[in-house]
Amino acid sequence: MTDRPLILACPLPRTLPLLFAPDLLRGLFDRYDVIETTDDALPHLPPDTLREARYVIGQPPLTPDLLARMESLRCIFNVESNLLPNMPYEDAFARGIHVVTTGAVFAEPVAEIGLGFALSLARNIHGADADFRAGREQWGGEGNAAARLLTGSTVGILGMGMLGQAVARVLGGFRPRLLAHDPWQAPSVTRALGAEPVDLSTLLSQSETLFVTAAVTSENQGFLGAETFAKMPKGAALILLSRAGVVDFDALIEAVRSGHIQAASDVFPEEPLPLDHPVRSLPGFLLSAHRAGALDIAFKRMGEMVMEDLALLDRDLPPQVCRRAERETVARFRSKPVTTN
């Protein structure tokens, strides 16, 4: 062991080469002692290693006892993106240990594909392409019987965190009437982001296109159900971008099957989705295999963020690039950990 700061790296399902471009990866190993481990192996590392570890890249499960043995720990870099209920956050905060996430890198890629979903549902781009290939295309206005414009329409965003804010930005050129509902956000902050803060009922009843970008929490698991979808205007589009845990997925399928709404989703209750799952053959439901944010440029940005904040922490400054977990909300998150990149 040298006098360089010690990093324990257990970023599964990520890998260090996935997160760090070659030059940054060389810099990481030049500036730090890096021990690559796994969630299961970390508790069994030598006591001196645990005691001297200053940083963790990953968010392995930590018991109060294990965290207590990591006497030099300064920061946990969550590169999975979801803050998981797998560690004693209060103990970490009491010791001044930062818990940060690089999840903001996914906001713009996911928002962009969400915009694509919204346009395709509004203009039936995917359906028109399939019809053309099958020789049943409808020319001109005949193919636009149910089409509508996104420009100037009323668009809702449920959840104005980093992803919701990115959705608001990509929608700017379409000049929508932008509504938003986020019970964790002050109304003045929502207005500053360019949206009109409204209650959930108003959001549902007035949005022609609704982007669901809320994280799964202990307070909203499955809260979007049959009654919720019934409040939406007929023909409205629901774009599910965050996590499937915020919706009753069976009820969403039924709302689409009935013809009341359209939907698109990049996330599902079970991933991979069984081959016989009914949503696979459901017209009016646009499907994407949890690929919206999985771009190499996003993963490499994670490594850049970690390196920038490591440099600050080495100078006894707080992290500024990664997003810090908040004491008041972190224990409420309930997203399932990802298993694929």
pLDDT digits over 98-153, tens only? Answer: 999 999 999 999 999 999 999 999 999 999 999 999 999 999 999 999 999 999 99
Of the residues 148, 257, 290, 324, which is catalytic?
290
**Annotated catalytic residue within 137, 219, 227, 271:** 271
For domain 107-287, the CATH class is alpha beta
CA pair distance 280, 159, nearest whole angstrom:
27
pLDDT, residue 1, reads 58
Q: How far apart are CA 317 and CA 276, in angstroms?
A: 52
Q: Tell me yes or no: is domain 6-102+296-332 CATH 3.30.70.360.
A: no
Place of tokens 């965003």: 157
Question: From CA 106, how far away is CA 308, in angstroms rounded?
Answer: 18
Residues of the chain with CATH 3.40.50.720: 6-102+296-332, 107-287
pLDDT of residue 242: 95
Please tell me the pTM assigned to this model: 0.94
Tens digits of pLDDT across the chain (341 residues):
568 999 999 999 999 999 999 999 999 999 999 999 999 999 999 999 999 999 999 999 999 999 999 999 999 999 998 898 999 999 999 999 999 999 999 999 999 999 999 999 999 999 999 999 999 999 999 999 999 999 999 999 999 999 999 999 999 999 999 999 999 999 999 999 999 999 999 999 999 999 999 999 988 888 999 999 999 999 999 999 999 999 999 999 999 999 999 999 999 999 999 999 999 999 999 999 999 999 999 999 999 999 999 999 999 999 999 999 999 999 888 888 888 88
Question: How far apart, in Å, are the Cα atoms of 148 and each of 118, 127, 231, 233?
Answer: 11, 14, 20, 13
Is 271 catalytic? The answer is yes
For position 3, what pLDDT does the model report? 85
Predicted pLDDT at 338? 84
pLDDT of residue 174: 98
